[in-house]
Amino acid sequence: MNKDKDKIIQKNNEVKETDQQNQDSTNDSQNTSTKVTDLETKIVELENNWKRALADYSNQQKRFNEEKEEVRKRANELLLLNLLPILDNMEMLLQHNQDMGFKMITKELQKTVKEFGLEDIETDNKSFDVTTMEAVDSAEGEENKVMETKIKGYLLNGKLIRPAKVIVGKKLKEEQ
């Protein structure tokens, strides 16, 4: 009977071990499931951080390129502003000197500044426009019409860089 009792005890121990192993396996499975969930969460978090960093980098590159373009435009504007008095003098001298060589040089300079986006402001026989012109005097003539352009005005890529200085027409006071 002791043998039977020993067998029963041994069987009980085996069942307990199996139960313990099953419980350990379940715990391991739960731990593994928790670890997998934690790792998946970490992967999603890292992926989101990576995407954010990539977007920040892309935005920074765009900002850098925009700033670089703005610096280039500003440098062109400053250069052209410094060339305008020279161009004015050459055009004025061209009215008094018809030398073909000088005429060619002046035309070449005019062509070059136009390629950089410089445009003359049309003023002759136009209505006075306060956004592109500056009245330096008035003379007898049609009301608010430009009578004469003293200094040409210019736009650079559609932006006013120097207003035209003009003489504007005004009606004479009627004598009584």
Top-confidence residue, 116 or 18:
116
| Stretch 152-171: mean pLDDT | 93
Split at pLDDT 50, 70, 90, the class of 175 is very low
Segment 71-122, tens digit of pLDDT? 999 999 999 999 999 999 999 999 898 889 999 999 999 999 999 999 999 9
Task: Give the integer Cα–Cα distance in Å for 24 and 69.
Answer: 66
Q: Which of 17-21, 93-97, 136-140 has the lowest mean pLDDT?
A: 17-21
pLDDT beyond 90 at 131: yes
Q: Which of 10-24, 65-79, 101-115, 141-155 has the lowest mean pLDDT?
A: 10-24
Top-confidence residue, 15 or 137:
137
Beta bridge partners of 20: none
Q: What is the pLDDT of residue 176?
A: 39
Task: Give the integer Cα–Cα distance in Å for 138 and 143.
Answer: 10
- Please give the sequence-ordered ranges of beta strands (E in DSSP) within the chain, or none if there are none: 118-120, 133-140, 146-151, 154-156, 159-162, 164-170
Q: What is the mean pLDDT of the chain?
A: 88
Report yes or no: 163 and 153 within 8 Å, Cβ to Cβ. Answer: yes
Task: Give the integer Cα–Cα distance in Å for 50 and 5.
Answer: 66
| Stretch 152-162: mean pLDDT | 94
Q: What is the pLDDT of residue 26?
A: 64
Type of residue at 9: I
The CATH H-level (homologous superfamily) assignment of domain 119-171 is: Head domain of nucleotide exchange factor GrpE (2.30.22.10)
Q: What is the pLDDT of residue 173?
A: 62
Task: Give the integer Cα–Cα distance in Å for 6 and 28.
Answer: 32
What backbone phi and psi angles, to 5 degrees, belong to 151?
-135, 130
Q: What is the pLDDT of residue 22?
A: 67
pTM of the model: 0.63
Q: What is the pLDDT of residue 165?
A: 95
pLDDT over 90, % of the chain: 65
What backbone phi and psi angles, to 5 degrees, belong to 141?
165, -170
**Sequence spans of domains, the chain:** 1-116, 119-171
Q: What is the pLDDT of residue 90?
A: 93
